[in-house]
Amino acid sequence: MPVELLGKSIEELRGYFASLGEAPYRAKQLYRALYAERRFDFAAMTNLPAALRERLSAEARISLPVVARRFLSADGSVRFLMALAADAGRPAQIEAVFMPADGRQTICISTQAGCAVDCHFCLTAQLGLIRNLTAGEIVGQALVALAEHGEAALAPRTNVVLMGQGEPLLNYEPVMAAVRIMLDAEGMAISPRHVTLSTSGIVPGIERLAAETVRPKLAISLNASNDEQRDAVMPINRKYPLAQLLDACQRYPLRTWESLTFEYVLLGGVNDAPEDARRVARLVANLRAKVNLIPWNPGALPYRSPGAARVEEFRRALADKGVPTFVRFSRGQDVFAACGQLALVETSAGALPVLPSH
Ligand code: SF4
């Protein structure tokens, strides 16, 4: 069985090359070819000697996720349905989204196939957890999205957001292995300012992330202004209630340039009242944080849009309390490509894409 090299760290590649009896510096050459130059064919790694390239072709492999379907939006974003190899676990399909915008590009990637967290506004939740992704499958989504966009790959600012299917902090090790490759100057060399991990509020995971020296920015999916409300839309809140979650946020060691992001999906008639805004302002009052408001788009789930006036009222109430607040509209609505927890319902008639959550 060929050895899978995608997702391996420089140390792991050194170990692999040592097992082949090759010099350790070959590992760095391959690491750079794979992640910095994004060459996925051993034959194209001309920095390696021909004999080694041949040996690698026979004994190793680089398995990128395979694009099964592309959905192109009028706004330029592309939603990819990607198929993952069965031999990394159960076969699975996941989604990634590429969103270009004025000199920058944002890639939204998945960390699990399906999800066990069960947020009620999220269609991925309905899939349950199919399986965790490997580090290679996680970083591979970003590599594929960049490869698909040729020239766009050269844009100066690439953002990666871990906001696709899955709860990243419940697949901690592979997620962090992928993030280290993205942030490594010898790897994909993306700035830590431009990689964001979004969690539903897994407190032990936040605490673990706080202890990392290399880490992405942190976003928390809040979506409610009190425990009762959050219990109703995000049952994970019963395990990690708001006080515990906000305490972990309080203790989170922000870097000088960094702030926390709270995502708040505005669900009409559920969590969008002016008193909700005032409570949210109180929750985040002592944190260096900003709030992203994401108005709900009606879809397969029984929630309704908050309406433009309500959104503006909510934004203003937070801003008036000094909380930096932004309204974010999901991209690629026409192809169901909003960057959030994407879901796919397989029907007997084929793959039916449905609207994601946040
Ligand atoms: S919103 Fe995120 S954490 Fe919640 S069920 Fe969906 S994918 Fe899982």
Q: Give the helix/strand (H/E) hosting 189.
A: none
Q: Mean pLDDT over residues 31-41, rounded?
A: 95
User: What pLDDT score was predicted for residue 230?
Assistant: 98
pTM: 0.92
- Other CB atoms closer than 10 Å to residue 256's CB: what's the count? 4
Mean pLDDT of 291-312: 91
Confidence class for position 300, pLDDT limits 50, 70, 90: confident
The partner residues of 81 in beta bridges, in order of sequence, read 69, 95
Helix (H, G, I), strand (E, B) or coil at 175: helix
Tens-place pLDDT, residues 98-135: 988 887 889 999 999 999 999 998 888 888 999 999 99
**Ligand 1 centroid, distance to 342 Cα (angstroms):** 9
Residue 356, pLDDT > 90, answer no
The pLDDT, as a whole number, for residue 155 is: 59
- If one compares 156 and 294, the residue with the highest pLDDT of the two is 294
**Alpha carbon of 121 to ligand 1 centroid (Å):** 9
Which residues are annotated as catalytic? 95, 339
Test site for ligand 1: of 97, 109, 112, 119, most ligand atoms within 8 A of the Cβ: 119
Mean pLDDT, rounded, of the chain: 90
Q: Which residues line ligand 1 (CB under 6 A)?
A: 115, 117-119, 122, 124-125, 165-167, 200, 341, 357
Higher-confidence residue: 256 or 74? 256
Identity of the amino acid at 85: A
Pairing of strands 260-266, 217-221: parallel
Residue 238 CA to residue 202 CA, distance in Å, equals 11
Sign of the dihedral through C-alpha 275, 167, 195, 267? negative
Task: Please tell me the distance from the alpha carbon of residue 202 to that of residue 248, in angstroms, as a whole number.
Answer: 10
pLDDT band at 355 (very low <50, low <70, confident <90, very high): very low
The long-range contacts involving 251-255, CB below 8 angstroms and separated by at least 24 positions, are: 251/207, 251/210, 252/206, 252/209, 252/210, 252/218, 253/210, 254/288, 255/192
For atom 4 of ligand 1, the residue with the nearest CA is 119
Q: Of 155-169, 286-300, 330-344, where does mean pLDDT reach its minimum?
A: 330-344
Residue 349 has pLDDT above 90, yes or no: no
Six token digits for residue 88: 């990394």
Residue 340 confidence class, pLDDT cut points 50, 70, 90: very low
Rg (CA), the chain: 21
- pLDDT bucket at 324, cuts 50 / 70 / 90: very high
pLDDT tens digits, residue range 210-237?
A: 999 999 999 999 999 999 999 999 999 9
Cα(75) to centroid(ligand 1), Å: 25
From 122, 170, 231, 238, the mutation candidate for ligand 1 (largest count of ligand atoms within 8 A of CB) is: 122
According to DSSP, residue 49 is labeled: -
Give the model's pLDDT for residue 342: 45
Can you give the pLDDT at residue 151? 55
| CA–CA dist 338, 358 (Å, integer) | 8
Which atom, in ligand 1's list, is nearest to the CA of 200?
Answer: 3
| Residue 58 to residues 136, 148, 184, 215, 350, Cα–Cα distance (Å) | 19, 26, 28, 35, 36
128: left (phi over 0), alpha (psi -120 to 50) or beta: left
pLDDT per position as a tens digit, 86-96: 766 778 899 99
For residue 337, pLDDT over 50 is answered with: no
Question: 318 C-alpha vs ligand 1 centroid, how far in Å?
Answer: 25
pLDDT(165) > 50: yes
DSSP state letter for 24: T
Least confident interval from 27-31, 235-239, 250-254, 293-297: 293-297
What is the pLDDT, as a whole number, of residue 329?
79
What's the rounded Cα separation, in Å, for the pair 15 and 307? Answer: 56
pLDDT higher than threshold 90 for residue 347? no
Do strands 129-132 and 217-221 pair parallel, antiparallel, or not at all (unpaired)?
Answer: unpaired
Q: CB under 8 Å, gap of 24 or more: what pairs does 13-20 form?
A: 16/60, 20/55, 20/59
Q: How far apart are the first and last CA of the chain?
A: 40
DSSP 86-147: GGGSS-EEEEEEEEEETTEEEEE--SEEE-SS--TT-SGGGG-EEEEPPHHHHHHHHHHHHH
Main-chain dihedrals φ then ψ at residue 96, nearest 5 degrees:
-135, 150
Task: Please give the number of the atom of ligand 1 that sits closest to the Cα of 112.
Answer: 7
pLDDT of the residue at 208? 98
Ligand 1 centre from 273 Cα, in Å? 23
* Contacting residues for 293 by C-beta, under 8 A, at least 6 apart: 264, 266, 311, 314, 315, 325, 326, 327, 328
Q: Which two tokens stand for residue 306?
A: 């908050």
Instruction: Give me the DSSP letters along 284-339.
Output: TTTSSEEEEEEE---SSSS-B---HHHHHHHHHHHHHTT--EEE-PPS-GGGT--S
Atom of ligand 1 nearest to the CA of 198: 2
Q: Please report the pLDDT score of residue 214 as a whole number.
A: 97
